Structure 1
Amino acid sequence: MIKTGDVLSWSRTFTEEETLQFAQLSGDQGKHHIEYDEHGRLMVHGLLTASIGTKIGGDLNYIARNMNMEFIRPVFTGDTITCHAKLTRVENGEGYKKVTVQSTYTNQKDKQVLLATSSGIVRD
């Protein structure tokens, strides 16, 4: 049973292979995503970074109706990103719950990389 105030978290480390695969799948082949920087890294796509939250949503069977994202700083291959998703509102509807989520994504240095909010439903 979900309730207002619940916090769910998920972490993952992004690889070169999946970043290049996402470039192919999404069609976003900006140089910063497919050419290595001076430190031998690729910049991870913002939407690939944001996909950490979709794992949490999938665990809840959450159907998002809207999303708002603010990308604070870049994420690079080899970075480990953690998403903390806080359920800021859970209201009962008829056969579902209306849910609002506020998410903070941080890197392995505990620096914010992405702030997101979304709202949607979880069916009963």
Structure 2
Amino acid sequence: MSSNTIKNAVHGDISVGTVLVWTKRYTEQDLRDFHALRGTAVDPLPEELPYLLVLAPLTKLGGDLDYLSQKMDWTVSRPVRRNEEITAELEVTRLEPTEGMTKIAFDARVRCGDDVVITGRSKGFIVSA
């Protein structure tokens, strides 16, 4: 393992160029639960997913790393419909292990099939244990 590689319990060895991936398909019950938590139960359910649910798979990947973001920028190209499979990808573009933390940056994508529906960048750090 090089000095520009970190180990992660979920994703293994991570270095610049590593792509972290997680796929999710929200069910109607997931949407009902989301709206109930917000206190906005709706009937019938909207066809499009709330923006927060579309971004959630990216934040799940960051959570796997105990990542603390300092900056995030996103661009949305189209809405996502319920029952569409969402694949989140974080590609590591910077990794600088230092004493006590690792500076890290990502290019981010959310795909629905071949469509890239969200692109973005994020930078921040991982606190070393």
How far the C-alpha of 1:107 sits from its partner, in A, is 0.4
Amino acid at match of 1:99: I
Unaligned runs of 5+ in 2: 1-5, 7-13
Paired residue total: 116
* Runs of 4+ off more than 6 Å: none
How far the C-alpha of 1:92 sits from its partner, in A, is 2.3
Unaligned runs of 5+ in 1: none
Q: In the alignment, what sits opposite 1:98? A: 103
Task: Report the Cα distance in structure 1 between the residues aligned to 2:38 and 2:68, rounded to whole angstroms.
Answer: 21
SS in 2 for 1:90: strand
- Larger strand share, 1 or 2: 2
> What TM-score does the superposition give when structure 1 sets the normalisation length?
0.81
**Aligned counterpart in structure 2 of residue 73 of structure 1, from 64, 71, 78:** 78
Q: Are 1:22 and 2:22 counterparts?
A: no
Q: Are 1:112 and 2:116 counterparts?
A: yes
Task: Report the Cα distance in structure 2 between the residues aligned to 1:69 and 1:120, rounded to whole angstroms.
Answer: 15
After superposition, the Cα gap between the structure-2 partners of 1:78 and 1:64, relative to the gap in structure 1 and judged at 3 Å, is same
- Larger helix share, 1 or 2: 1
Q: Are 1:86 and 2:98 counterparts?
A: no
Sequence identity of aligned pairs in percent? 30
Aligned alpha-carbon RMSD (Å): 2.0
After superposition, the Cα gap between the structure-2 partners of 1:26 and 1:87, relative to the gap in structure 1 and judged at 3 Å, is farther
> What TM-score does the superposition give when structure 2 sets the normalisation length?
0.79
Q: In the alignment, what sits opposite 1:61? A: 66
